[in-house]
Amino acid sequence: MKYVLVTGGVVSGLGKGVTASSIGLLLKACGLRVTSIKIDPYLNTDAGTMSPVEHGEVFVLDDGGEVDLDLGNYERFLDIKLTRDNNITTGKIYQDVIDRERRGDYLGKTVQVVPHITDAIQEWIERVAQYQWMGSQHQLFQWLFQITDNFLVVGDIESMPFIEALGQFSYRVGSDNFCLIHVSLVPVLNVVGEQKTNPTQHSVRGLRCLGLTPHLIACRSTTALEENVKTKVSQFCHVQKENIITLYDVSNIWHIPLLLRDQKAHEAIFKVLNLQGAEICDMLHEPVRIAMVGKYTRLSDAYLSVIKALVHASVARGKKLFVDWVPAGDLEDATAKENPDAYKAAWKLLKGADGVLVPGGFGDRGVQGKILAAKYAREKRIPFLGICLGMQIAVIEFARSVLGLKDANSTEFDPNTKNPCVIFMPEGSTTHMGATMRLGSRRTYFQSTESKSAKLYGNKRFIDERHRHRYEVNPEMVARLENAGLSFTGKDETGQRMEIVELRNHPYFIGVQYHPEFKSRPGKPSALFIGLIAAACGQLDAFLQGSESKRNIPNGPANDMSQRHISYGASNDMPQRNITNGASNHMFQAACGQLESFFQGSETKRNVPNGAAKAYQNGAAAKLANRPQDGAYSIFNGMHL
């Protein structure tokens, strides 16, 4: 567990709550799971009986908790649900300690502020974090960021037990797990127009006297800090200059996360918490090689989401991913005559792979090569995943090779075939191409809980995945195919449209009509891609058989993860290249250890309020997620995921 404490100094009302929320959002944009606690050192048990005139709005939580309005900021910024226990008050702590004393839990000892009150505070923080950690339905990795916002300014007598408790807590959890961000005021005197650092210096000095040393200082000011002012704060407060953050006045609070990102606050936090990964070779040792047999291999962006899904799954399995691009046409017999070198190179890549993936596509170019790849994977028992056209190819190959229907084909490629395994969907348009496909999220119902796909999805009754196709498996051929050993384990609500096909008695041979790559996320990898990587590593049986917890992999943790390495392999058209990004050695090692329980038991739709927030939704969120070139993190810095 990693903890970030946000304290305030000089005066109240500096925006500690917004700062804590913005830091949480920034860390969440880095792929980390975040929860939050607000500490209010008043004796009230909660905010329910407090006057809005004195304390502001009473925010109501799902569990009925009446809490400080800052928890509303946390829920809105972070898109999470909090409980009444996420708001600690002095009243709650004292009530808890007194109740324990009445029960005799202290065995006759004299109950004091130290250690009993301070211990209760620490236990409360850990209990809330652990509860929300265990309650997550999509938890894969160990690291959870606890953002704790201390309400009163340093020096106020009411906050002293909390300051003492947090000082002990920082020592107990260790320096690598605790980061303190101090929000302080740098006022500008109108008479001289100079930014004054003395209030911040005194505030930090008082904090240090109480046993807490800030790692970052967030300076509130009307304008951005001048460089000489940053230098002075750094020098007198013993904080590195790059860890001095300017939080100047902005038009609305949704600019604050971007302000923090632009100053690389997330990188400073990662450095303090030892989340800056070491060299990639120290993180990922075991390689997994996937042959991507496609039509558009000259441009990797043609299969961008597939690559991302492979990355998510391989990182989740703790493997170093190598993607070998195999031009489907180069596998065909015609290429053997026209370009023997390309033919040999393509087959060498295919035969050297741990798994084979045939993605979606259109048109008949390269189809025979894809059929040959599916046949090779089927006969040699190589893990295989076919997506959309890849599934249709697998069905055609099976009909030709196993059923003996040599002319079996899709009507897309041969309208006059006598054995149409794949046909044009009845509702499709034959005159218009745009927006006439079966598009978007559709429901797939599993036909058996014993299939690999059902187990990978956590034995759900149905799943919702995204589609993009005009052709489908001919329902009139299904019975013959199933009698020969091909199982259609997923169908639509009518039972007439085939969605998932599997080959019995094969380590991993799955085809799907939908596109699972579109819902894969860092920290929530696609179930079928997880299966492909696990099978390619020879770990699928243990992965499935050891199921103990009841966790489901979402359709489709960094991931609390470390760096990763992708090599695009040596095809003619795709030069080999490495992509690395930093996050955490320790996180990744923990991630690898957690995966078995993740599967063994197996997006968030962020609704940002309208008004000023809509500008954030349309602009800020996109910038947070999609600008690695200027230092922002997606999960894996250096690549949009």
Residues annotated catalytic, as ranges: 388, 515, 517
CA dihedral 540, 544, 550, 556 (to 10 degrees): 40
CB 141, CB 525: distance < 8 Å: no
Q: Which of 226, 268, 223, 247 is nearest to 631 (CA)?
A: 268
The letter for the amino acid at 111 is V
Sign, CA dihedral 499-503-508-511, equals negative
Residue 493's contacts (CB-CB under 8 Å, 6 or more residues apart) are 443, 445
Inter-axis angle of helices 265-272 and 16-29, to 10 degrees?
80
DSSP secondary structure code for residue 521 in this structure: B
Structure tokens at 277: 């990964």
End-to-end CA separation in angstroms for the chain: 24
CB 412, CB 422: distance < 8 Å: yes
What DSSP element (H or E) covers 7?
strand 2-8
Residue 421's contacts (CB-CB under 8 Å, 6 or more residues apart) are 392, 395, 396, 399, 405, 408, 409, 410, 473, 474, 477, 481
d(CA 337, CA 346): 14
CB 413, CB 367: distance < 8 Å: yes
| CA diameter of the chain | 93
Burial class (CB in 10 A: 0-12, 13-18, 19+), 349: buried
CB 45, CB 641: distance < 8 Å: no
Q: How many residues does the chain have?
A: 641
Structure tokens at 248: 């100047």
